[in-house]
Structure 1
Amino acid sequence: MEQFTNPDQYLLWIDQAIDWVQANILLGPILIQIAACLLAMLPALLLRPTLTSLLARLQNWKPLLHYAGFRRLFSVLPDLAFPLLLVVLVWVLEAIAVQTGYRHNILRLVASLLNAWIVIRLAAAVVNDPVWSRTIAAVAWGLAALNIVGWLDPTIAALDSLAMQVGSFRVSVYGVIKAILSLAVLLWVASFSSRLFEQRIKKVHRLTPSVQVLMSKLLKLVLLSVAVLFALSTIGVDLTALAVFGGAVGVGIGLGLQRIVANLISGVILLLDRSIKPGDVIAIGETFGWIQSLGARYTAVRTRDGTEFLIPNEDLITTQVENWSHTDVKLRLKIPVGISYNCDPHFAIKLCNEAAAKCARVQDNPGPNTLLRGFGDNSVDLEIRFWITDPQNGRGNIISEVLLNVWDAFKENDIEIPFPQRDLHLRSLDPTIRVEMSPTSPKS
């Protein structure tokens, strides 16, 4: 603790710092590099307004505005106009210094810091996950630090030396890291490209919805497969060796993944034959609803109460499916109605037709038609038939509306809706039994 209270110690530290600055910084090559970086700031400042306006226009680029990550990226780019220009100019100066054999350690330091800062800002804008954002920031600063001190190439060589031989294939730590990074970047690019192409495909109205989904799924599968193959090629994997691996995978699929493969193939068949498509109204088993999406393994069906069922594609192929909008959206509904035997069925039929015609969703051509279906135990059985063209809006609500109109019409015109009734006949085996009724005596 005495050295911190001794003024002479502080003077000694100051002298040592001055000597270090004179020996390492106040040198001709160092000062020239610092001056070059300062001069590079002038054209960067002059070109900054132009680049800022160009980058700001990207915020109105409609093809990419559907993705939140790109909206956040484009909102950050105008603020990075100056560092982007500066880092490009510093790269040019460093390349000139390398070609002329001049010292470029300060230029490399400035370029590394700018690169790390730009990458971190872009990653924070694009990556919404804080864990991945911090991971990218740590990797960027680590690479920048290694490049500043000149340890980047030795570190790569050291990681590459940590390797093991697997047959004729050499696996190193550096190769694995490079493959992981390449795979992550390529998968992100493939996923973004597939979403972009999917948006474009949906705008082609000449294609049916099922063909659009099929093309989108196939394109995404192809892009992801290409990304994986490119990532494997970056570490020197011989792609011809995948033929043997593919055969083994085929055997595994045939033995253990039969249902999964069946669902995948069924999904392709459904998309090709267009038996069902997004937006169709279907009924399968006890499930009735609208097809929300067609996936590779399942089909999402949403019911009127908001429940979403994930039905395996194989079930849609092997079981009976009612598609209410396959070739025509027109649908006929039938509602049973009973009237009393004391009422005029001709008049009741007229009232039923008028009640159904009052509903806006009921079609006028062909209009409602009520038939007499039979003579029941307690009522004359009628059946109201009418057509609708929007089954996706539900059938229970339109049936309820028609029945309410029928109820009002029957009440206004004294048409009785009977309820179940039974006649009870009492028989006695002894004809001498008499039944007498006498008034009860008052209580005392």
Structure 2
Amino acid sequence: MEPLPTTPPPIDDLSAWLEGFMQPTVLVELGVLAVCVLLAWGVAASARRALRMQDEKTSVLFGRSVVDGVLFPALLLAMGYFARAALLKYVPLAVFKVAIPVLVSLVVIRVGVKVLQVALNGAPWVKVLERSISWLAWLGMVLWVSGLLPLVLKELGEITWTMGNSTMSLRTMLEGAITAAAVLIFALWISAAIEARLLRKAVGSELSLRKAVSNAARALLMFLGLIVALSAVGIDLTALSVLGGAIGVGIGFGLQKLASNYVSGFVILAERSMRIGDNVRVDGFEGRISDINARYTVIRSLGGRESIVPNEILITTRVENLSLADTRVWLSTVVSVAYDSDVALVMRLLENAALEQPRVVRDPGPSASLSAFGADGLEFTLGYWIDDPENGQLGLRSGINLAILASLRANGVEIPFPQRVVHLKSSL
């Protein structure tokens, strides 16, 4: 039995192309394709449950649902190839000549889009790249199904030009660009998977160290991907030695601060002197470190403002880390009472007012002391510790001050106000 033709007919033989869909064997192909869909869906769903990925919305393989990730179309494509090879020996193919190109395009689109969403989340130009990948993939599918793809590639191969001793063609450049894009997307996929694995359930010092390893892995993978991509396009990498020397000179003279910030970022992440979640004070700005990048660190204040601090400043200037040795923070409140007040009673009322707030640490507990003899009354200082400064201080201070005011009034303790005696001198 002679093998059946597998190359799609050209677009000018449209009637013969459509006639294949009128054969009774099309029902067999549709049935086999439906079985492949059910099997691919079942395997993807079982893997999703086995790996407990139902709540992992950013997974490239699984996505938000079974059919959203890359795994389902990839399994369907593999099963479709096996089914196509088996049916090719017995029946003429019509449905699978269209289904295979469609599935290939779907896998390409799903891989490109999901990887860009995970690796470059929030970038303004991600949507443009996603649309470009989709349009190019569907265009390639149409050319493949219609039989025009070999003709288009042949015409592109005949458009050539000379660059030095090399002859380039538009087809070579196009194939190199596609290969480069595939390599870079694969590098982004691997780096995003490494980052997700390293940063999962990491806190404190572990989070900072794993962030450093993640940044280093992404930079290394992107560099290797760029090298492979340039080789795929046909660029001689030995010609980049001059460019590399120029970049080195530029860093030495003009990019000193940029290089210093990058080196400082890796030093901070490696030695863990400052970690994500620490409360720090830098140049009069106090807040919590929300992110440590290779070039800068983001510090978010309790009021919601964010300060982007170059990493070099954190290395070369004085930084107050309020959470390096202990996450607890000491706060105080100063209260003045009249000179004839009961000192022991006032100290007890102040301490009880602080203990009414659940955020105040019990060990060591709050302590009140007679700190000064003021001009208008006795000055007491109430000191207390909290272990959650990221939740703010103003509300806690207000609650303690209100409790102090109510306690002093209930016990008849006078809160003095400034009194001044003015002597008028007669001019007579």
Give TM-score, length-normalised by structure 1.
0.76
Q: Distance between the aligned counterparts of 1:386 and 1:404, measured in 2?
A: 16
Contact 1:324–1:391 at 8 Å: present in 2 too?
no
Tell me which of 211, 214, 217 is aligned to 2:215: 217
**Rounded Cα–Cα distance in structure 2 between residues aligned with 1:144 and 1:337:** 78
Residue in structure 2 matching 1:182, options 175, 179, 182: 179
Structure 1 pair 218–169 and aligned structure 2 pair: CA distance change class (3 A): farther
Contact 1:58/1:74 (<8 A) preserved: no
Q: Does the Cα contact within 8 Å between 1:73 and 1:125 map onto a contact in 2?
A: no
Work out whether 1:235 is the aligned partner of 2:225: no
Distance 1:124 1:89 in 2: 23
> Within 1, Cα distance between the matches of 2:234 and 2:132?
26
Residue 100 of structure 2 aligns to which amino acid in structure 1? Answer: N
1:416 to 409, 414, 417: 414
Matched, 1:50 2:39: yes
| Partner in structure 1 of residue 67 of structure 2 | 75
Matches of 1:367 and 1:277 in 2, distance apart? Answer: 28
Q: Which has the higher contact order (CA 8 A, sep 6+)?
A: 2
Structure 1 residue aligned with 2:7: none
Deviation at 1:278, TM superposition (A): 0.9
Secondary structure, aligned partner of 1:233:
helix
Counterpart Cα distance in 2 of 1:321 and 1:47: 61
| Structure 2 CA distance for partners of 1:309 and 1:205, relative to 1, 3 Å | closer
State whether structure 2 residue 100 is matched by structure 1 residue 115.
Answer: yes
In the superposition, relative to structure 1, how do residues 239 and 93 fare at CA in structure 2: closer, same or farther (>3 Å)?
Answer: farther
Paired position in structure 2 for 1:291? 289
1:159 equivalent in alignment to 2:156: yes
Q: 1:71 is paired with a residue of what secondary structure? A: coil
Tell me if the contact between 2:161 and 2:169 (Cα under 8 Å) persists in the aligned partners. Answer: yes
Contact kept? 1:281, 1:288, Cα under 8 Å: yes
- Greater displacement, 383-392 / 143-152: 143-152
Distance in structure 1 (CA, Å) of the matches to 2:354 and 2:130: 61
1:200 is aligned to 197
1: CA distance between counterparts of 2:401 and 2:268? Answer: 38
Q: Given residue 171 of structure 2, which amino acid in structure 1 is its aligned partner?
A: Y
Which shows bigger deviation, 170-179 or 219-228?
170-179
Identify if the C-alpha distance between structure 1 residues 136 and 352 changes in structure 2 by more than 3 Å, giving closer, same or farther. closer
Superposed displacement of residue 344, structure 1? 3.2
- SS at structure 2 position matched to 1:424: coil
Contact 2:73/2:103 (CA < 8 Å) preserved in 1?
no
> Unmatched 5+ residue regions in structure 1?
1-19, 98-103, 431-444
- Structure number with larger C-alpha Rg: 1
Taking a change above 3 Å as real, the CA distance of residues 276 and 133 of structure 1, as seen in their structure-2 partners, is closer
Shift in CA distance, 44/144, structure 1 to aligned 2, threshold 3 Å: closer
Deviations 1:136-188 (CA, angstroms, capped at 9, x unpaired): 45434443454456553453343234333333454432233223322332232
Q: 1:329-348 residue pairs with structure 2 within 5 A? A: 329-348=327-346
Report deviation, 1:47: 5.3
Specify whether residues 371 and 137 from structure 1 end up closer, same or farther in structure 2 by C-alpha distance, changes over 3 A only. Answer: closer
Counterpart residue number, 1:90: 84
Cα distance change, pair 406–321 in 1 and its aligned pair in 2 (3 A): same
How far has the Cα of 1:330 moved from its partner? Answer: 2.3
User: Which residue identity lines up with residue 227 of structure 2 in the other structure?
Assistant: L
User: Aligned pairs, how many?
Assistant: 398
> Structure 2: 5+ residue runs without aligned partners?
1-11, 118-125
Task: Spell out, residue by residue over 1:69-94, the C-alpha distance to the aligned partner (whole angstroms, 9 max, x if none).
Answer: 64257325768977764454435677
**Residues 51-60 or 267-276, more deviating:** 51-60
Structural mapping, 1:93-104, within 5 Å: none
- Residues 72 and 125 in structure 1, CA contact (< 8 A), matched pair in contact too: no
Instruction: Encode CA deviations 1:371-414: one digit per residue, 9 max, x unaligned.
Output: 22222222222211122222222222222222222111211122
- The C-alpha deviation readout for 1:23-53, integer Å capped at 9, x for no partner, is x859xxx98xx78877655655555543431
| 1:331–1:165 CA distance, 2 compared to 1 (3 A) | same
Q: Normalising by structure 2, report the TM-score.
A: 0.78
Quote the residue 1:8 is aligned against: none
Distance 1:74 1:368 in 2: 55
The alpha-carbon distance between structure 1 residues 286 and 255, as it changes in their structure 2 partners (threshold 3 A), is: same
Moved more, 244-253 or 113-122: 113-122
Provide Cα deviations, 1:222-279, integer angstroms capped at 9, x if missing partner: 1111211111121233334333322211222233323222221121111112111111
